Amino acid sequence: MEKPLTGKLDSFTLNQLAALLSEGAVAVLPTDTIYGFHCIAASRVAIERIRELKGRGGEGGFILLACSMEMADSLVSGWPGDSRETLSKIWPAPLTAILPADESIEEILAPRGKIAVRIPSFVDLRALVKKTGHPFVSTSVNITASVPLTRISEIMKAFPGLDAYISQRGRPGTQPSTIVDFTAQPPKLLRPGRHSWTHR
């Protein structure tokens, strides 16, 4: 196996990462919250690989990262109420929204017809998503139900053999994204996290 790509997420690694991910790679990337396993949502093989890494069965979906409201539009079937207007004022931010999934989204990503979407506040990550032209599957680096790993050295030891391990500049995050269900009216906070949810 070739040596994995390492380093920081910047202009030097962006093109290499985009090429790898477009070919179906699985990469550990920093986000606006915590480290995550990532792949393009168009690669079923890569999605299944991430599911195996996490030890997950068929239950649950994954968060999808979009680079813009336009990309988010392609994932959503009918924005409930004023959710698009509300989220367009909040995003980019560490807030994940539960929304009705477009019918083109596979069940593995949209269980029960709902999808989890975020436009991350990390500029370089949005640039990477845009460069591939696909939303990213994103999920915490851990075995399901265990504590997420927050240091790249620990991640490389615990999950060897991935295609890229990209480290965070400065201190890595320890809080996951806030999750709000916009299919409920009013929107319902499902998980407190890095974004302070104050909508009423």
pTM over cut 0.85: yes
Question: Where in 70-113 does DSSP place strands (E)?
Answer: 95-100
pLDDT number for residue 170:
66
- Please report the domains of the chain, with CATH numbers, ordered by start residue: 5-191 (3.90.870.10)
Q: What's the pLDDT at 199? A: 67
Alpha-carbon dihedral of residues 87, 91, 97, 102, nearest 10 degrees? 80
User: What's the CA gap between 187 and 112, in Å, rounded?
Assistant: 18
How many secondary structure helices (H) and strands (E) does the chain include? Answer: 6, 10
Tokens of 169: 């500049």
Distance CA 83, CA 93 (A): 15
Four-residue CA torsion sign, 143, 148, 149, 155? positive
- Distance spanning both ends of the chain, measured CA to CA: 51
The pLDDT, as a whole number, for residue 64 is: 97
Q: What is the pLDDT along the chain (200 residues), one digit of tens a residue?
A: 579 999 998 888 999 999 999 999 999 999 998 999 999 999 999 999 999 999 876 566 799 999 999 999 999 999 999 999 999 999 999 999 999 999 999 888 998 899 999 999 999 999 999 999 999 999 999 988 889 998 999 999 999 999 999 998 766 667 889 999 999 989 999 998 888 887 65
DSSP 8-state code for residue 32 = S
In degrees rounded to 5, what are phi and psi of residue 122? Answer: -75, 110
Extract the tokens encoding 41: 């949502």
